[in-house]
């Protein structure tokens, strides 16, 4: 269900498995409840969230003061988040910026619009993984629901195994979206947490080698420019 990456008296960072809900989901206890029970914690407060289908780095506060300080960093967009995804479709561009408002679609998901009143903002790079597969490094600057999944669909490259946005997901073992790295500040010091994906047929050793070669230090890359007024 999860693996502990870093733990202090103030916060906890875990690597969440795909298919695990943050909170109680029908018969399942939910990640928050399970971690609290496993570690005998009196409090465990999520300061951001991941979709059930998404694996990877997830930050929790251990007390209300830490939750307030960390939540403020997220609200001010001071936390850097990096995700990895795989698609079996060729994108319109190999790298770039995806900006647009999001609204509900008829099928219960979301879609990207051309308007930019309160837009979702995503930067991305991509590189060839193998024949017919492409690896994406994504940096969201906003936290809209399904933002990255919708962003890649808008580029013509829906995420492999994403049953909601990819028309051919049957037989794929998971949705190939992983929260790869998180950078925030605590006690005046920068904290960087990084956890390469390990769960899934296509997140294999060759994929992890490619990540190490191209995306080992995601914050140091020359990211596409964000238009003035949207940063």
The single residue of 15, 25, 51, 101 carrying the catalytic annotation is 51
Instruction: Count Cβ atoms below 10 Å from residue 33 Cβ, excluding itself.
Output: 14
Report the relative pairing of strands 120-130 and 45-46 from DSSP bridges: unpaired
Q: Is 95 exposed, middle or buried (0-12, 13-18, 19+ CB in 10 A)?
A: middle
Neighbours of 125 (CB within 10 A): 19
Task: Write out the E strands in 2-90.
Answer: 2-7, 11-16, 45-46, 55-61, 80-87
Please give the distance of CA 159 from its chain centroid, rounded to a whole number. Answer: 12
Torsion from C-alpha of 112, 21, 180, 64, nearest 10 degrees: 100
Is-contact 148 86, C-beta < 8 A?
A: no
Clarify whether 51 is annotated catalytic: yes
* Catalytic annotation, residues: 51
């Amino acid at each position: 269900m999860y693996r502990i990456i870093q733990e202090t008296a103030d916060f906890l960072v875990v690597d969440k498995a795909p298919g695990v809900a943050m909170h109680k989901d029908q018969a399942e206890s939910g990640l928050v409840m399970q971690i609290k029970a496993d570690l005998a914690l009196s409090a465990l407060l999520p300061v951001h969230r991941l979709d059930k289908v998404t694996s990877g780095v997830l930050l929790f506060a251990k007390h209300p003061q830490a939750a307030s300080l960390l939540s403020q960093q997220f609200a001010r967009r001071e936390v850097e988040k990096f995700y990895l995804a795989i698609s079996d479709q060729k994108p319109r561009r190999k790298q770039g910026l995806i900006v647009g408002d999001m609204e509900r679609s008829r099928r219960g998901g979301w879609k990207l619009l051309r308007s930019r009143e309160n837009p979702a903002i995503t930067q991305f790079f991509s590189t060839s993984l193998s024949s017919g597969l492409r690896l994406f490094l994504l940096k969201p600057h906003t936290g809209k629901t399904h933002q990255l999944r919708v962003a890649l669909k808008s580029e013509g490259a829906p995420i492999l195994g994403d049953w909601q946005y990819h028309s051919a997901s049957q037989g794929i073992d998971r949705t190939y979206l992983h929260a790869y790295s998180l950078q925030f500040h605590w006690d005046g010091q920068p904290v960087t947490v990084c956890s390469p994906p390990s769960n899934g047929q296509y997140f294999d050793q060759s994929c992890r080698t490619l990540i190490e070669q191209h995306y080992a230090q995601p914050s140091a890359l020359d990211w596409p420019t964000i238009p003035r007024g949207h940063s």
